[in-house]
Copies of this chain bind each other. A is one copy, B any other.
Amino acid sequence: MGHGATRKQIVAAADDLFYRQGFDHTSFADIAKAVNISRGNFYHHFKTKDDILDAVIRNRLDRTEHMLVDWETSGATPKDRIKSYIKILLTNWSLIKDYGCPVGTLCTELAKLNHTSRAEANKVFTLFRVWLRNQFTQLGHMQEADVLALHVLSWSQGVATLGNAFDDYNYVKREVEKMCDWLDALSVKAEKAQ
């Protein structure tokens, strides 16, 4: 199996198309056209379409983990790091408004397809969950850390879905500010409790 530049191009193109069109609705022909290679050539790099999906998911897991590690070592406070996560909604807005959250929409689709790689795709959520939990722990929220992590996760997920549906940037901006305010209020409470 190939490990060269073409393979990486295929994964990158598939990643993009799976996000913008959905996994099921993206065909070999679509990916081939994007990479500018012949259809039959795929078999040399990936035996099945599911293999491409697995490679795409692994790629997303790697990139996400890398990003989270970067944030972790950036020197900012845990609170600022959580805000970095929340603000993805704004920085990636031009994509989210058309295609939604890449993580959530893939998990949703694979759930409906009852796909084997569903659990693998969910791991991206887990990556964020564990990282967020870690940040909240560092902020002094020991017991509630996981609950708070899930809360941030579901809040931002919902804002992505509705922002996409209503195509309303102001709403997303307002919700992001509310999330940041909530985060600040939370820290004050934790400091008082000490």
In the complex, what distance in Å separates the CA atom of A150 from the CA atom of B172?
10
How many copies of this chain does one complex carry?
Answer: 2
Residues on B with C-beta less than 8 A from A164 are 107-108, 111
Among A87-146, those with CB < 8 Å from B are 98-100, 104-105, 107-109, 111-113, 122, 125
**Chain B: which residue is nearest A178 at the CB level?**
B151
A contacts with B, residue count (CB < 8 A): 37
Complex Cα spacing A161 to B156, Å = 11
Question: Is there contact, CB below 8 Å, between A99 and B111?
Answer: yes
Mind listing 30 A-B residue pairs with CB under 8 Å? A20-B112, A21-B112, A22-B109, A24-B25, A98-B111, A100-B111, A104-B161, A104-B165, A105-B112, A107-B161, A107-B165, A108-B164, A111-B165, A125-B165, A147-B174, A150-B171, A150-B175, A153-B158, A154-B155, A154-B158, A154-B159, A154-B161, A154-B175, A156-B158, A157-B157, A157-B161, A157-B162, A158-B158, A158-B159, A161-B161
